[in-house]
Structure 1
Amino acid sequence: MKIAFATCVQLGLSCIEEIYRIEGKIDLLITLEDEKDINKSGRIYLDEIADKKNISLLKINNINDTEVIEALKKNEIDWMFIIGWSQIAKKKLLETPKIGCIGMHPTLLPVGRGRAAIPWAILKGLKQTGVTMFKLDEGVDTGDIIGQGIIDIDKNITATELYKKVDEMHIELLSKYWETIMNNEVVLIKQDESKATEWPGRKPEDGELFNSMTMDEADKLVRAVTHPYPGAFYKDGEKVIKIWSAKFDKDKGKIKLRYGYMTPIDYEIEG
């Protein structure tokens, strides 16, 4: 079985490292050109592991480029993993590997299709989330499910902590289903469309904190967009305070909120 793996984020690199830890093999690595999406959350580069494991590395602008199709055909790829990749794979690409393409999404699909799954799980106050391994189709996170893993969410969890748990679950699912994938014994389960929800993308400017927010709203936002995300921020006149962590008190603090106060702990002042 010949494998290609496309990623540009830590979640994907962790899976690649796990494949080699369990004595698997990858025949082709695909990643973005070095100068593309340099500010993407969790952005990594594959040069080191490609050199270390002697894997052919292709750097591209778009996953649907002709050079990707040609490389998959040339290497006679059976399965292609596409992990942590923002661009949507189109029909021609999906049909090029002999068996198909596999993705992972950090929610329990069909809940939370779309973007910014880790921040949204915190912002929505979920008690559980997870990771879904699935066979990619032309939709956004709509493909048939291969397997899922559940992650419990503590009420004070940060994006940093949840990202680590999601990373660990990617590794766990990869290890659990690797032999099944290699033996072409994957059992696919249709998603229940009646339970489907879609979460929209988020931009850095969505991290702005306002005095009209409650302590709970501000707390969730700070925790949801801390590292590896762009961070929450508060505009104080000409200054912008980038806040990575904060404490909250109903009686006193540095920044007045609707029913209390916020005091930045880990922060930077810009401007």
Structure 2
Amino acid sequence: MRDKVVVCAYHNVGYRCLEELLRQGADVRLVFSHEDSPGEEIWFQSVRALAARHGIPCLTSSINAPENRAMIAELAPDFLLSFYYRNMISPEVLALAGRGALNMHGSYLPRYRGRVPVNWAVIKGERATGATLHYMVEKPDAGEIVDQQQVEIAFEDTAFDVFNKVTEAAVTVLRRSWPQLVAGTAARIPMDLKAGNYCGGRKPEDGRIDWSLSALEIYNLVRGVTHPYPGAFTTLAGKKLLVWQAFPVEGTGEPGRVLSAQPLLVGTGSGLLELRRLQLEGAAELCAADFVQATPCDGALFT
């Protein structure tokens, strides 16, 4: 008899990993996912639609709800697998998986434990990250590692670019690891938490640009929260100004002061930042040349 599996999944990582499990013939009995948030740009594939196509029941209520915990206990799954599921899963639910509960995390653990690891890795200027399959314990992203795959972060990659790389790495890890988990031969490597770090979630207001930082640090913020994320922003004449694309260049200038309109260069704490795509609150997104034509800003101060 095949091992019974309960899957918690959302977003592209959830979709692709569930798809890979089904491709390998896993006996997925139940899926937990999320309702899409009306305030979020939905650019990713639907786990619920995938489950429906395969006739698998899919619930969007919390897996920790008493009625769901009772349902899982009755099902008595061998494995509980989490792929980009946004809720912490209680220890009581984790204990219901006879052969183990595992999570696919979007970083090369133990680095960037916690929330939005791809965005944080780009914002912090990392040159690599990855995907890690690990056992779940009460503490987040802290259980034994089964397998992981590293990916490169190129200097011009946005968080979206890196997320796509991490998604592919997650599928690669699961493709290797699932047969080993079923066979009972998968690795269980203790995680050295002291060698890593933990990051919390981010809110749209965390995208405010601090012009006293270096051009490189601001550039990393811009590419770490650009489309499809909420974007980095500053203020121009009392209006919110989103910066969707930028690039660091050499030079000096007062932090936040526009030094040139063609190209659009702004001073920072170290170096200059060339702004390439912008969007004034309530207006359309424009390339820098069109923006300065519509909104003269030479000598202006961004705050």
Q: Deviations over 1:106-144 (max 9, x none)?
A: 222222211221122112222221111001011111101
Match of 1:257 in 2: 267
- Take 1:165 and 1:43, find their aligned partners in 2: how far apart are those partners? 14
What is the deviation of 1:217? 1.6
The alignment's C-alpha RMSD in Å is 2.2
Moved more, 232-241 or 144-153: 232-241
- Take 2:88 and 2:169, find their aligned partners in 1: how far apart are those partners? 23
Match of 1:217 in 2: 217
Match of 1:49 in 2: 50
Match of 2:60 in 1: 59
Are the structure 2 counterparts of residues 36 and 75 from structure 1 closer, same or farther at C-alpha, using a change threshold of 3 Å?
farther
Match of 2:165 in 1: 165
Unaligned runs of 5+ in 2: 252-259, 283-303
Larger-Rg structure: 2
Letter in 2 for 1:270: E
| Structure with bigger RCO (C-alpha 8 Å, 6+ apart) | 1
Match of 2:287 in 1: none
8 Å contact kept, 1:28–1:75: no
- Take 2:136 and 2:42, find their aligned partners in 1: how far apart are those partners? 22
Are the structure 2 counterparts of residues 261 and 183 from structure 1 closer, same or farther at C-alpha, using a change threshold of 3 Å?
closer
Secondary structure of the corresponding residue to residue 209 of structure 1: coil
Unaligned runs of 5+ in 1: none
- Take 1:236 and 1:268, find their aligned partners in 2: how far apart are those partners? 11
What is the deviation of 1:98? 1.6
How do residues 1-271 of structure 1 correspond to structure 2 at under 5 angstroms? 1-32=3-34, 34=35, 39=40, 45-60=46-61, 62-250=62-250, 252=260, 253-254=263-264, 256-258=266-268, 259-265=271-277, 267-271=278-282
Count how many residue pairs are aligned between Structure 1 and Structure 2.
Answer: 268
What is the deviation of 1:248? 4.3
TM-score (norm 1): 0.89
- Take 1:213 and 1:112, find their aligned partners in 2: how far apart are those partners? 22
- Take 1:4 and 1:85, find their aligned partners in 2: how far apart are those partners? 12
- Take 1:41 and 1:167, find their aligned partners in 2: how far apart are those partners? 16
Q: Deviations over 1:78-112 (max 9, x none)?
A: 10111212322221011012222110112222222
TM-score (norm 2): 0.81
**Which runs of structure 1 show a deviation greater than 4 angstroms over 4 or more consecutive aligned residues?**
35-38, 40-44, 248-251
Moved more, 87-96 or 67-76: 67-76
- Take 1:15 and 1:254, find their aligned partners in 2: how far apart are those partners? 43
Letter in 2 for 1:268: Q
What is the deviation of 1:235? 1.5
